[in-house]
Structure 1
């Protein structure tokens, strides 16, 4: 009896002190910022403008990311995406892209030639087929059946650069401010739903048939609508080896901030490459956006930047934090 009375007294004192039972957890509520759009490199500024037109009017994130990255695909001066993209070592422009929505539906195309907007073909794969990825001739055939126009993507400017490269044929795919890479975009809409898109012509002068991370769900792009989204840019092989974007999302699932999640995966990549000759020219970068509208980025070395727009912040370019000087 005395024992039970002591327990009762202890519980009364414990409650009076404002303490909680250890089995209960305090719920921390975060202010949700929406809509938000974030995209890679300075061509992300133009992409954000078009995506924002949809988001600010209550449109969905999937439409926003598709329309956004199409600006880079159609711009011949962006020589690492779509029309005017640098060709492979055989002089052929081959494109990769993927897209993913808040239901975890996704579509992808790889080694696609002659189609200016691979991101839209990827969306058609997602919506019109039972598959996730189509490649090569099969992807082209599907695109033509869906009404896409076949055209020559090798512009005079990119052809001239290719011919200059042929003089030495030195394959060092440096990807940085001087040679903008993949455009990746993540968006959170007014309904609190996430979507992402990724599109590229891949590493300049790559081997014919090479495919990087951009069309691979989990490497170049990944999202979980309960957690957040992440996307990558840089040398695709490094992202594939680490399932980079998926790992960023998983880290956020366990409470890691978007920036810290990106940083941890960059550090993993550095560990893999630190004792190799590839580290000399390697660049990788990630962007991330969580369910609360918080965003972040991290890259291996200086030179990577990304564009962000929210309701409280005008579209602007931000230099990514980096690991190596």
Structure 2
């Protein structure tokens, strides 16, 4: 499956440093799998990202529970973990599980025990900053009547290498203040992610409870396989799911996706105006895009320096 193109795309601005490192690897003929793992771990390790890995926000009991998944679009192998504690890099555990014939999706204590037996790093994932966010939210919920639920920004990264292989990975600490044991779309194949090297890959972020209702990532890949461009597949899938949710359920939560096809073309779609994504391909320079929805189409433009400065100030701002 020799291929002259390569590419890597990710949900959110937070993945930009990771995808640029992954892009360098792809240019050097490294595998899509290695690029995805490198990019995701960069996000997991950065303590100021509140929704992934170290520094991720905890559940309603003040405990950080993590979900992650990996899929190889050439072999169709996939691995996932959910509701795990004290695992430094969940994406690495998920990728290792993808090489298991059985027991490739593990949860809770069983997943933790297996990970540590395999030599993966054990680490307290609740940072002081995340704990401060938790205390603040508890106070707001108690005294101001605010909903405890906020924040669900999964990092999802898909890559295409020069051999034509496509891989995808996700990692998240899930919904802030979730009930212990809650699992969203991120580790669920077809919802949080999907990859098929004959077609492409997609990954999602938003409200997992709603993203799972449409198997959104699989559906995007399926539509690309039927001839849609990545952008057409992303826009139409998000729009169709949102309409169905509103018609049948009365409302739709945040739905955002990115995708890439076997030719290195990419797309992104969302039903919110605050979604950003990061991308670099053999045909496109490394760029952070900010999305705006106009009717049934998602439009995006490069992030301005003002936007980037505001973003950095926001994620590092003192907690009051």
Q: TM-score range by the shorter chain?
A: 0.7 to 0.9
Following superposition, the deviation at residue 278 of structure 1 comes to 4.8
Q: State the Cα deviation string for residues 108-157 of structure 1 (Å, max 9, x = none).
A: 00001101200000011112452320000011001100111222111010
Structure 1 match to 2:306? none
2:134 counterpart SS class: helix
Q: Distance between the aligned counterparts of 2:61 and 2:257, measured in 1?
A: 30
Alignment partner for residue 41 of structure 1, among 1, 12, 23? 12
Structure 1 match to 2:71? 100
Structure 1 match to 2:219? 247
Structure 1 match to 2:27? 56
Structure 1 contact 232–284 (Cα < 8 Å) conserved: yes
Structure 1 contact 33–294 (Cα < 8 Å) conserved: no
Q: State whether structure 2 residue 256 is matched by structure 1 residue 285.
A: yes
Q: Distance between the aligned counterparts of 1:93 and 1:183, measured in 2?
A: 16
Structure 1 match to 2:311? none
Alignment partner for residue 196 of structure 2, among 204, 224, 242? 224
Change (3 A) 1:312 1:259: closer
Gaps in structure 1 of 5+ consecutive residues: 1-31
Aligned pairs for 1:209-220 (under 5 A) are: 209-220=181-192
Q: Distance between the aligned counterparts of 2:112 and 2:36, measured in 1?
A: 22
When normalised by structure 2's length, the TM-score is: 0.86
Structure 1 contact 220–233 (Cα < 8 Å) conserved: yes
Aligned pairs for 1:307-318 (under 5 A) are: 307-318=278-289
Structure 2 contact 138–148 (Cα < 8 Å) conserved: no
Structure 1 match to 2:111? 139
Following superposition, the deviation at residue 311 of structure 1 comes to 2.6
Following superposition, the deviation at residue 277 of structure 1 comes to 6.5
Question: What CA RMSD, in Å, does the superposition of the two structures yield over aligned residues?
Answer: 1.8
Computing the radius of gyration over CA atoms, which structure comes out larger, 1 or 2?
1
Following superposition, the deviation at residue 305 of structure 1 comes to 1.1
Q: State the Cα deviation string for residues 19-53 of structure 1 (Å, max 9, x = none).
A: xxxxxxxxxxxxx7611010110112111122123
Structure 2 contact 86–125 (Cα < 8 Å) conserved: yes
Structure 2 contact 10–158 (Cα < 8 Å) conserved: yes
Gaps in structure 2 of 5+ consecutive residues: 297-320
When normalised by structure 1's length, the TM-score is: 0.84
Structure 1 match to 2:147? 171
